[in-house]
Amino acid sequence: MRIKKLGAAAAALVLAGSLAACGGGDDEVEVASETDFEAGTTMAEIADRGTVTVGTKFDQPGFGLLGLEDVPEGFDVEVAKIIAGAMGIAEEDIEWVQATSDIREQVIEDGDVDFVVATYTINDERKQRITFAGPYYEAGQQLMVASDNDSIEGPEDIADNPDMKVCSVTGSTPSEQIREYLADDDQLVLFDIYDKCADALSNGQVDIVTTDNVILLGFVSKSEGEFKLVGEQFTEEPYGIGITKGDVEFCEFINETLAENEDAYLAAWDRTAGEVEGTEKPELPEADACA
């Protein structure tokens, strides 16, 4: 019994130590102490309420990943903190809600969240139901293969190797965009999460995994040399912040906030997705007009 207790205490110590090592001291996001918003706007409502609900991914390394600490971490999460901070909301007062790809529009429409930052590619079909602020990041689709695979150098090579299987996630933008490069639809293997694609690539069931470069880089860095990226980015995936359709004032506020906080934005990149080897430091893209 005694030994067991000792072991548990030791484990707790180690855990505490590693947690402390993770939580760096300088990753505080600035929180506005005084805010003054026109009455009736979304910002005023949120500032009055004192809390904000944000939808993000819980399973996307580097962007939004829920770890052991019960709070998601990543670039999307940091961007959300910058926006919340500008409304005077500290990060303890942010409620995080998981917004998987298939429910992002729904949670915005239903009012379950105030905004969504979740590797959310801006496209016209989605704009039918919600409004996008930003973009705040330009991702691009790329290919990941096993390190010993030399026959694929870009998306054009996929059709020349009809035996090879390409893996992506059901219903994702990349899974739709890769179709034009395939010899036939049987080449495409779809799972519900990217982890399964990485497993399938590792055990040889598929030959290529495709999605946005930043997501792939997370897998490459974890794979210890087993995977590599090939070819150039062949699409442009501007990530936007999803808000209620037609809320132009909130959209403009978010765009202004990001433009004013470019330093915080870059610092946020460095301590999240930027830590992965091979990522390029982004520039804050010019925001689209709010509509």
Partner 1 sequence: MSPVIDNLDLYWSGFLTSLEFIVYSLIGSMILGTVIAAFRVSPIAALRGFGSAYVTVVRNCPLTIVLFFMAFGLPELGINRSYFFFGIAGLVIYTSAFVCEALRSGINSVSAGQAEAARAIGLTFTQTMREVVLPQAFRSAIPPLGSVQIAMFKNSAVAGAFGIGGDLYSVGKTLTSARGFEYIPVLTGVAIGYLIITLSAGLALGLLERKVAIAR
Contacts to partner 1 by CB under 8 A: 101-106, 109, 123, 125-126, 128-130, 167, 170-173, 175-176, 185, 188-192, 196, 199-200, 203-205
Provide the pairing of β-strand 227-230 with 141-146: antiparallel
Closer by beta carbon to partner 1, 43 or else 166: 166
Is the bond into 135 cis (omega within 30 degrees of 0)?
yes
- How far apart CA 152 and CA 169 sit, in angstroms, is 20
DSSP state, residue 87: T
Q: How far is the CB of 182 from partner 1 (least distance, A)?
A: 12
The least distance separating partner 1 from the CB of residue 100, rounded to whole angstroms, comes to: 8
Nearer of residues 29 and 166 to partner 1, judged by Cβ: 166
Write down the number of H helices and E strands in the chain.
Answer: 10, 13
Strands of the sheet containing 59-60, edge to edge, are: 59-60, 64-66, 72-73
How far is residue 206's CA from residue 165's CA, in Å, rounded to a whole number?
5
Q: How far is the CB of 241 from partner 1 (least distance, A)?
A: 15
Residue 199 or 249 having the CB closest to partner 1: 199
The minimum distance between CB 262 and partner 1, in angstroms, equals 30
Nearer to partner 1, 53 or 119 (CB): 119
Which residue in this structure is represented by tokens 């918003």?
37
How far, CA to CA in Å, does 257 sit from each of 134, 210, 240, 254? 10, 33, 14, 5
Compare residues 102 and 156 and give the one whose CB is closer to partner 1: 102
Q: What's the closest the beta carbon of residue 35 comes to partner 1, in angstroms?
A: 32
* Least Cβ distance, residue 204 to partner 1 (angstroms): 6
Which residue, 38 or 185, has its beta carbon nearer to partner 1?
185
Instruction: Report CA torsion sign: 137, 142, 145, 148.
Output: negative
Residue closer to partner 1 by CB (options 26, 185) is 185
Find the shortest distance in angstroms from Cβ 130 to partner 1.
8
Per-residue exposure over 92-115, b if at least 16 CB sit within 10 Å of its own CB, e if not:
eebebbebbbebbbebbeeeebbb
